[in-house]
């Protein structure tokens, strides 16, 4: 088996494992709410704890990855991530559930930074773009995690049984595949650098690209079904098609876009992505029919698919900022946008309309097309 393990396959396994655990959690949210008798506001506070845990972890994981090596830290954090999923299922009270979710978010976010840093090292070693394919593995893992939730619900398994089984599945099947030999580069710790640093220099615009993509992905996850129901008049079953169309397109694009990035360059692909997403939003909001909205969501999937992988690759290749810190700073903006974007769209929908909220996403997509040249890697 050792001969079959390559660094690229090991990174793919790490991404798939990260997605598997998050997908399993997301698939059982109704069961968690029911078990603890949570109100919408109460559950919102718990989600905030999970999000804060992730945001806190980004800069810390970036520094530690630079100091100890991304591959070693990814494997350590993986164990914590598996454990915290189990703790969510076993939490007997709401306060303990909040603590478990905080550390679940923290371990998820930390692993997100370190595995992307590891991925950037493998990408640099292979001398071609492969980051999008890693993110496709994350999406496939998340889909598998959601499938375990469907199976657990069908078999009437509690989360106390389901989550340990998923952790066992990940530890038994995916974790061993991350053991390919790889030695990460390390950098001495800069004591003068702030711990919670936002992007600086050219990485500010790279962060804007991640932020714009995060806004779009978060909006589609939380608002696509409501958009189809309220704006196009779609029925309950039809309303589920929007996010499905978007997600399937994202996976397909991430599996196929790397050769285009290698051939055309990251700036060209990002500019095309921003324009495709903006066109999709224009079609969905302008025609406001079910077929038009679904076409628009597909174009948004085409447009957004490569943006976060491209932003992470550029952050890791920055000639000034260490890879871990660069990825962490960009991830803070991207993940923060995924957390804060949907509530902002909800506010805009409340005071105006949901269509206007989506139009604002189009403005950010056009901004991506404008600043795309920043993704050209500067010489080290």
Alpha-carbon dihedral angle through residues 155, 160, 162, 168, given to the nearest 10 degrees: -150
**Per residue in 193-231, pLDDT tens?**
555 556 778 899 999 999 999 999 888 877 888 899 889
- Same-domain check for residues 212 and 171: no
Higher pLDDT, 78 or 62: 78
Q: What's the pLDDT band for 68 if we cut at 50, 70, 90?
A: confident
Q: How far apart are CA 87 and CA 73, in angstroms?
A: 21
Q: What is the CATH number of the domain that holds 228?
A: 1.20.1250.20
**Residues 83 and 222 both lie in one domain:** no
Residue 187, domain member (yes or no): no
Q: Are residues 18 and 162 in the same domain?
A: yes
Supply the pLDDT for residue 104.
Answer: 94
Could you tell me if residue 125 is inside a domain?
A: yes
**DSSP type of residue 222:** H
State the chain's mean pLDDT as an integer. 89
CA atoms in the 13 A half-sphere facing the CB of 165: 12
pLDDT of 191 higher than 60: no
- Residue 298 buriedness (CB in 10 A; 0-12 / 13-18 / 19+): buried
Do residues 103 and 154 share a domain?
yes
pLDDT at residue number 205: 94
Structural domain includes residue 193: no
What is the C-alpha to C-alpha distance for residues 26 and 335, in angstroms, rounded to an integer?
16
Q: Is the predicted pLDDT of residue 166 greater than 90, yes or no?
A: yes
Domain that holds residue 165: 2-178
Taking the C-alpha atoms of residue 23 and residue 133, their distance in angstroms, rounded to an integer, is 18
- Residue 209 belongs to some domain of the structure: yes
At residue 374, does pLDDT exceed 80?
yes
Cα→Cα distances 143→140, 215, 248, 260, Å: 5, 21, 10, 25
What tokens does 227 get?
């958009």
Instruction: Kindly provide the b/e burial profile for residues 191-211, where b requires at least 16 CB atoms within 10 angstroms of the residue's own CB.
Output: eeeeeebebeebbebbbbbbb
Per the CB < 8 A criterion, the answer to whether 269 and 314 are in contact is no
Is residue 183, in this structure, part of any structural domain at all? Answer: no
Could you tell me if 63 and 106 lie in one domain? Answer: yes
For residue 380, name the pLDDT band (cuts at 50, 70, 90).
Answer: very low
- Residue 380 placed within a domain: no
* 245-268: average pLDDT: 93
Distance between CA 356 and CA 225 in Å, rounded? 16
Higher-scoring residue by pLDDT: 39, 361:
361
Tell me if 150 is assigned to some domain. Answer: yes
Does one domain contain both 218 and 267?
Answer: yes
Whether residues 225 and 327 share a domain: the answer is: yes
Are 218 and 159 in a shared domain?
A: no
Asked if 173 and 208 sit in the same domain, the reply is: no
Lowest mean pLDDT among 120-129, 221-230, 248-257, 264-273: 221-230
Q: What is the pLDDT of residue 196?
A: 56
Do 13 and 111 fall into the same domain? yes
Q: For the chain, how many residues are written?
A: 380
Are 133 and 23 part of one and the same domain? yes
pLDDT digits (tens, 9 = 90+) for 280-337: 999 999 998 999 999 999 999 999 999 999 999 999 888 888 888 888 889 888 888 8
Q: Is residue 241 part of a domain?
A: yes
- Summarize pLDDT for 131-155 with one digit per residue, the tens: 999 999 988 888 888 888 888 888 9
- pLDDT(379) > 50: no
Based on the fold, state whether residues 168 and 212 are members of the same structural domain: no
Q: What is the tally of structural domains in the chain?
A: 2
Q: Is the pLDDT of residue 41 over 60?
A: yes
């Amino acid at each position: 088996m050792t001969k079959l393990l390559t660094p690229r396959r090991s990174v793919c396994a790490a991404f798939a494992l990260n997605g598997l655990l998050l997908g399993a959690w997301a698939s059982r949210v109704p069961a968690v709410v029911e078990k603890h008798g949570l109100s919408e506001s109460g559950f919102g506070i718990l989600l905030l704890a999970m999000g804060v845990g992730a945001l806190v972890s980004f800069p810390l994981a970036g520094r530690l990855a630079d100091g100890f090596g991304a591959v070693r830290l990814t494997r350590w954090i993986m164990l914590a991530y598996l454990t915290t999923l189990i703790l969510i299922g076993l939490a007997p009270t709401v306060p303990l559930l909040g603590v478990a979710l905080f550390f679940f978010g923290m371990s998820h976010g930390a692993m997100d930074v370190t595995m992307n840093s590891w991925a950037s090292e493998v990408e640099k070693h292979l001398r071609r773009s492969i980051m999008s394919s890693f993110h496709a593995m994350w999406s496939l893992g998340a889909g598998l995690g959601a499938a375990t939730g469907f199976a657990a619900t069908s078999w009437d398994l509690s989360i106390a049984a389901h989550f340990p089984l998923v952790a066992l599945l990940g530890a038994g099947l995916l974790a061993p595949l991350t053991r390919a030999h790889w030695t990460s580069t390390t950098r001495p710790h800069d004591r003068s650098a702030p711990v919670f640093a936002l992007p600086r220099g050219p990485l500010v615009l790279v962060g804007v690209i991640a932020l714009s993509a995060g806004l779009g992905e978060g909006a589609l996850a939380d608002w696509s079904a409501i958009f189809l129901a309220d704006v196009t008049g779609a029925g309950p079953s039809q309303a589920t098609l929007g996010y499905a169309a978007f997600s399937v397109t994202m996976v397909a694009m991430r599996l196929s876009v790397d050769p285009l990035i290698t051939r055309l360059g990251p700036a060209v692909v990002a500019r095309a992505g921003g324009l495709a997403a903006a066109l999709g939003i224009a079609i969905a909001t302008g025609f406001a029919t079910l077929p038009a909205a679904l076409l628009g969501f597909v174009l948004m999937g085409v447009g957004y698919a490569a943006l976060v992988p491209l932003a992470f690759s550029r952050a890791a290749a920055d000639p000034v900022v260490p890879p871990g810190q660069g990825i962490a700073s960009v991830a803070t903006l991207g993940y923060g946008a995924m957390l804060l974007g949907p509530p902002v769209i909800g506010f805009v929908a409340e005071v105006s309309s949901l269509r206007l909220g989506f139009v604002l996403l189009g403005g950010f997509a056009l901004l991506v097309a404008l600043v795309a040249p920043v993704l050209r890697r500067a010489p080290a």
